[in-house]
Structure 1
Amino acid sequence: MIEVNERLDRMVHRVQADARVPALAAALHRADRPLWSCAVGDTGNGTPLDADTVFRIGSVTKTFTAVLVLQCRDDGLLDLDDPIGRHLDLPGHGELPVRRLLSHTSGLQREPHGDVWDSLRAPDADQLLADLARVERVLPPARRYHYSNLGMALLGALVGRLRGGTWAEVLTDRVLRPLGLTGTAARPGERAATGFLVDAYSDEAHPEPPTDFGAVGPAAQLWSTAPDMARWAAFLADPAGLDPAGAVLAPATVDEMRWPLTVTDETAWGTGFGLGLILVPQGARVTHVGHDGAMPGFLAAVYGRRGGDGTAGAMGAAVLASSGTAAEIFDLPHRLLAAAAEHDPAEITPWRPGPPAPEQLRGMLGRWWGEGFEYVFSWHDGTLRARGADDPVGKPPAVFAPLPERPDVFRTVSGREVGELLRLTRDERGVVVRMHWATYRFTRAQETFDGYDFRAGG
C-alpha cells in the first residue's frame, strides 16, 4: 500500500509542477483503507498547506443543492415534475419543472440578469427572483443540455422556502453535519488558501479578489478541504457505505440522481448529466460521478467511482487547486481513482455456499427461451435472477422480488426490464411450464411467437 500511495503522491506532484498550481491538495477515500491525502505548494498567505487547508470548490456546490432538492422530494414537499412556480412566487419562468432545472435541460439562460462575472456583484435573494422577469429562456425545455447557474440558484431558493431557513442553514443541518463534513462551509474561514490567476507568460501569480455570490451561492459558494470532498464523492458513489441508515438520502434516491438524463455533447457521448451530477463513463462498466468547479482563483474536481474490478466500497477522490487556469487538474481525480483500483484493488470476497432456493422455485431454475434468445434463471444471494446466456462478463443480471399478495408473480427490481412483472404458469402437477416477463413468453424450448417448437416439428 505504501508503494501505491507513493505513486499517487507523484501524480499530484507532477500536476502541481506542470500546471504551475500555487497550492494543490488531493485526497482519496475508500472504505477498506485509511484516507490518503497529499498537498503540494504554498497557500500564498502564510497559513500552512495541509489536509485542513480550505479551497473554494465552485460548482461542486451544485451537487449539495441537488441532494437538498431530492430530500424535499423524498419528504413529500415537492414532486420533481412540479413547475417551480408552484412553490416560489416568480415574475417569470415559473412553469419550468424542477427536474429540468436539476438536469440543466430547462432552457433557462446560464447566469442571472446583468454582467455578474464582470462586476462580481451577485444579486441578493429578492433581486434574483425579481430579475426573472428580464432573463431569457434561450432554448425550449427538454430540447438539450444547457448549463445554468441561474437554474441552480433558483433551486437553492426553493429549498430555503420549503424548509423555512436559508440555503446555507439547511445545508449545514441536513447534509454537512450528518456526514461529518466539518471542513465545508459557505465562508472560507481562517485556513483558506489564496486563489490566483497564474500568468501565461511568466511565473507571476496574481491574487484574485474574494467574492461572495449571494443568492447564486447554491450554484457555487462553498469552500472545503480535500478530505471532506473525497468523503462527499464517496457518498455520491456509495451512499450506503457512508450513510447506512439513509439519514441524508436513501441509496435508491442517489441511484435516481445518477441515472443519465442528457449528454453534454450530441456527438461525443463522453459525459452525461443526471439530477445535479456529472457522469463520466470510464469503460468496462465503470462510471465516475461527481462534479467539477471553477471560481476566480480556484478549480476543483470531485468524483466517486462505481463499478469495475478492483473498485472498493465508498471510493471517491478530490483535487482542489488555488489556480483558475490549471485545467490539468480536472483529469487528476479520474486518474487517481483508476490507479488506486488497478494497483491496490479491493479484496475479493470469497464465495461461500448458501441456502438452497425455495422449493417452489427450484424446478424453474435453469435455461429458458424468450424472443428467440436464451436466458438463464438462477438463485443467488437470496434472490431470483436472470441474465442472457451470452451476456458479457460484468453485465448486471435482472433481479426479481416476490409480490407477497400474488403467488408466482415477481417484480423486476434491477437490471433488464426493471419495474416489469415476471409471471409463472404451472401445469396440473405444479411444474412451471411457461413464464411471461414484461408480457413476453418464456419457454423451456425455443419457439416461434405462435408457440410452435421448431425442433419438435422437424
Structure 2
Amino acid sequence: MKPIAILLALALAIGGWFVRPRSLELAEPRTGDAALQQYIDDHYEGAGHRLAVALVDGDSVRFAGRGADEHAAFETGSISKAFTGLLLSEAIRRGEVKLDQQVGSLLPLHESEVATATLEDLATHHAGLPSTPRQPLSAARSFFANLMAGNPYPYDVDQLLDHARSSGRGDEPRYSNLGGALLGQALARSAGQTYPELLSERVLEPLGLTETRTPVDEAGAAPPGYSSGGRKQDPWVQVGYAPAGGVVSSTRDLSKLAQSLLAGRSVDALAPRREFDGERIGMFWLTSPLGGTGRNMVWHNGGTGGYRSFLGLDLERRRAVVVLSDVAVDVDDFAEKLLEEPV
C-alpha cells in the first residue's frame, strides 16, 4: 500500500471511530421576539443547535434566538466577502484603486497568471481561479483538516500569495475563496494596513459594529460549531484567507450593517456588474429574484466547517433578514422565506 493511501486509511479510521457525533436539537433558552420564535417553530426544518435570527423593517429590528441572543458570536464564512466588497467600494471612492486595475500592481505576484486579473475580475468571480489552493501539500493539508474537523485555512498572507502565484487562470467564472482573499489583501496592502485593521477602520468603527471582528488566533474565535451530523468542528481562524471567510459577527451587528445598506450606504458595492452562475453579481454581493414577489433580493451567504449564515436585503421594501447557525446546514431557504413574508 502506498504511503498516502495508508495515511488516508488512518485518518478515516481516526475520524470514524474516535470522534463521535452528537445528536443536535435547537438549544434553550429561547430569546427575543415571540412572533419570530413562533416563525422558527413553524418553518425552521434544518438541524439545529444555536440559532440567531434578525428581521429588519426600516428602522425597526426584531431578534430571536435559540441558545443565543443577538450578541452571540458566530462564524459568518463567506459573508466576509461581502464585507470585502464594501472595502473595495470605499477604496474606489477614495481614489486608491480602480476596478480595471490589475491585482499584480498591488501585490508581489511577479509574472504569474493571476497578476493580470483585475480587481473587478476578483470581486465578481471572473478571474478563473480555483476556490482553494492547488499546491499538493496545501491541498493535502486542507483535505486532512476537513476530514479531522480542523481548520483548512491556517495560512498567512505570504502563504496566500504563494498559492496565488502557483494557480493558473481558467476561461470560465468560478467561485473562488482564493480570489476573494487575494482582493482583500490587495486592498489592505494598498492602504498600508492589515486586513483586520482596514475592515475595522473603514466599516466596523463607522457603523458601530463592536461585536464584529476578524480573529487572528483562537482567543478571538467563535465557539466551536457542528457538522450537519453533530460532530464538533474546530474554529476556522483565518489570516491570509480572512477577506474570504474569516469574519466573526452577531445578528445585532449584521442587522446594523443591513440598516446602513438599506439607507443607501455603499450602493456601488451592491449594484450588479456581471452575470455569475445564474445570478447577477456586484462587488461580491449577489442579486436574485425574491421568490414570487416580483422584487429582487441582494444577498450573501456563508459556511464554515461548523457554521452557516445568510444576510438578505429587499431594497425596495427596506427589509432585511439575518440568520446565523452554529450547525453546517444551509439556512438559505428559511431566510429567504422570512424575507418574503410578513411576520
AA paired with 1:185?
R
1:298 maps to which residue?
Answer: 307
Shift of 1:80: 0.2
CA-to-partner distance for each residue in 1:234-283, whole Å, 9 max, x for gaps?
Answer: 333x243xx5xxxxx4x4x24xx322411313xxxxx3322210212124
Shift of 1:189: 6.3
AA paired with 2:332?
F
SS of residue matched to 1:94: helix
Q: Determine if contact 1:196/1:206 at 8 Å carries over to the other structure.
A: yes
SS of residue matched to 2:299: strand
In 2, distance between residues paired with 1:157 and 1:174?
15
In 1, distance between residues paired with 2:235 and 2:241?
15
In 1, distance between residues paired with 2:236 and 2:323?
21
1:36 maps to which residue?
Answer: 62
In 2, distance between residues paired with 1:280 and 1:233?
17
Q: How does 1:31-180 map to 2 (within 5 A)?
A: 31-33=58-60, 35-40=61-66, 42=67, 49-91=68-110, 92=112, 93-113=114-134, 114-115=138-139, 117-118=142-143, 119=145, 120-137=152-169, 139-140=170-171, 144-180=172-208
Q: How does 1:173-192 map to 2 (within 5 A)?
A: 173-187=201-215, 192=222
Q: Determine if contact 1:231/1:316 at 8 Å carries over to the other structure.
A: no
Unmatched segments (≥5 aa) in structure 2: 1-32, 146-151
In 1, distance between residues paired with 2:238 and 2:221?
20
In 2, distance between residues paired with 1:121 and 1:303?
26
Structure with more strand by fraction: 1
1:218 maps to which residue?
Answer: 243
Q: Determine if contact 1:123/1:214 at 8 Å carries over to the other structure.
A: yes
| Greater relative CO (CA pairs within 8 A, separation 6+) | 2
In 2, distance between residues paired with 1:317 and 1:72?
27
Match of 1:317 among 307, 321, 325: 321
In 1, distance between residues paired with 2:70 and 2:293?
32
Q: Determine if contact 2:272/2:286 at 8 Å carries over to the other structure.
A: no
Shift of 1:129: 1.1
Taking every aligned residue pair, what percent have the same amino acid on both sides?
25
1:206 maps to which residue?
Answer: 231
Shift of 1:193: 4.2
Aligned residues: 295
1:109–1:117 distance in 2 versus 1, CA, 3 Å: same
1:26 maps to which residue?
Answer: 53
CA-to-partner distance for each residue in 1:96-140, whole Å, 9 max, x for gaps?
Answer: 111011000111111134225323243211121133332121x22
CA-to-partner distance for each residue in 1:296-319, whole Å, 9 max, x for gaps?
Answer: 110001111122xxx2x3x22100
Shift of 1:228: 1.4
1:8–1:145 distance in 2 versus 1, CA, 3 Å: farther
1:30–1:191 distance in 2 versus 1, CA, 3 Å: farther
Shift of 1:295: 0.3
- Asked which structure has the greater CA Rg, the reply is 1
Q: Determine if contact 2:80/2:244 at 8 Å carries over to the other structure.
A: yes
In 1, distance between residues paired with 2:62 and 2:238?
32
1:263 maps to which residue?
Answer: 276
In 2, distance between residues paired with 1:177 and 1:145?
34
1:90–1:297 distance in 2 versus 1, CA, 3 Å: same
Q: Determine if contact 2:99/2:120 at 8 Å carries over to the other structure.
A: yes
TM-score computed with the length of structure 2 as normaliser: 0.80
AA paired with 1:10?
Q
AA paired with 2:285?
L
AA paired with 1:224?
S
Shift of 1:154: 0.7
1:72–1:190 distance in 2 versus 1, CA, 3 Å: closer
Q: Determine if contact 1:125/1:215 at 8 Å carries over to the other structure.
A: yes
AA paired with 1:132?
A
Range that drifts further, 180-189 or 274-283 = 180-189
Match of 1:196 among 223, 226, 229: 226
Unmatched segments (≥5 aa) in structure 1: 43-48, 200-204, 244-248, 266-270, 344-458
In 2, distance between residues paired with 1:125 and 1:186?
14
Instruction: Tell me if 1:333 matches 2:316.
Output: no
In 1, distance between residues paired with 2:158 and 2:173?
28
Shift of 1:90: 0.5
1:121–1:224 distance in 2 versus 1, CA, 3 Å: closer
SS of residue matched to 2:82: helix
Q: How does 1:244-283 map to 2 (within 5 A)?
A: 249=266, 251=267, 253-254=268-269, 257-265=270-278, 271-282=279-290, 283=292
SS of residue matched to 1:178: helix
